[in-house]
């Protein structure tokens, strides 16, 4: 499945290069109209990141998110600075279907496991952002990618499997926002190791050829942001390419 992605700052659609707020590009588009355009082309899921909420939970764009959720009829997964049970409840009440959890899974894993119990694994997507070293250790990046932990992707998945972990969004941070192509080797490896996990890929997609390679890598979904925003191909073209597999 192709999942279009929108990153939002102060109500505006933006893209960051490798997660840096200093390398930000603004797109002068209305996020609701953009999502409706994706829906018209057949989108079933939308991925939204509240970058204001990521930096400061007090600045979460809850009114905007609530408006978006109320006016669309597809699965909405939202992330950005989720730190507490209350944060999850606020977003679910706003209409989100899935909540994307990142650094907290490393920093406060016991608390996140409680969220799995309280809300159910279907409601939670673990976003595991990794940096791969020369020994192929997939170390998890936290705190907006400012810190590389000693925890590996495999460690995180194994920790949460007994709590029903279902959705994992895996990003190779060296690829994100770069348009240099996804890490196909990574996705083939992890989908083979964890066949029961529904993996979402993210980072680096620039062409329909990339989509074809991802389609055959074992991932359940491909999240695409910049390439769609820059009209390298349409959502419909991406969807049709994925469905040819």
The tokens for 126 are 């673990």
Rounded Cα distance between 183 and 53, Å, is 28
Contact predicate 141/130, CB 8 Å: yes
Rounded Cα distance between 235 and 245, Å, is 16
Rounded Cα distance between 172 and 133, Å, is 11
Residue 239: CB partners within 8 Å, gap ≥ 6?
2, 41, 42, 43
Active-site residue, selected from the candidate residues 87, 129, 172, 210: 129
Q: Which 8-state DSSP code applies to residue 122?
A: G
Contact predicate 14/26, CB 8 Å: yes
**129 carries an active-site annotation:** yes
**172 carries an active-site annotation:** no
Give the helix ranges, DSSP H, for 71-222. Answer: 85-94, 104-107, 109-119, 153-161, 184-193, 208-215
DSSP of 175-203, one letter per residue? Answer: TTTT-S---HHHHHHHHHH-TTSEEEEES
Active-site residue, selected from the candidate residues 7, 52, 172, 176: 7
Active site members: 7, 129
């Amino acid at each position: 499945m192709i999942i279009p992605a929108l990153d939002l700052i102060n109500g505006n659609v933006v893209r960051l290069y490798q997660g840096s707020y200093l390398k930000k590009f603004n797109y002068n588009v209305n996020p609701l109209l953009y999502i409706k355009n994706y829906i018209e082309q057949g989108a079933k899921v939308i991925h939204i990141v509240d970058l204001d909420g990521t930096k400061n939970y007090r600045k979460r764009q809850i009114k905007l998110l609530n408006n978006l959720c109320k006016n669309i009829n597809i699965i909405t997964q939202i992330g950005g600075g989720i730190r507490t049970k209350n944060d999850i409840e606020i977003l679910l009440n706003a209409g989100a279907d899935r909540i994307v959890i990142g650094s907290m899974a490393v920093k406060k894993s016991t608390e996140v496991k409680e969220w799995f119990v309280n809300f159910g694994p279907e409601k939670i997507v673990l976003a595991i952002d990794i940096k791969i070293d020369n020994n192929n250790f997939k170390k998890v990046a936290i705190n907006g990618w400012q810190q590389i932990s000693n925890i590996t992707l495999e460690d995180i998945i194994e920790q949460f499997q007994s709590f029903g972990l279902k959705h994992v969004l895996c990003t190779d941070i060296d690829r994100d926002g770069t348009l240099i192509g996804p890490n196909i080797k990574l996705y083939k490896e992890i989908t083979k190791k964890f066949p029961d996990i529904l993996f979402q890929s993210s980072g680096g997609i620039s062409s329909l050829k990339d989509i074809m390679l991802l389609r055959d890598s074992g991932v359940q979904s491909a999240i695409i942001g910049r390439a769609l925003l820059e009209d390298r191909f349409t959502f419909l073209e991406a969807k049709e390419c994925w469905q040819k597999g």
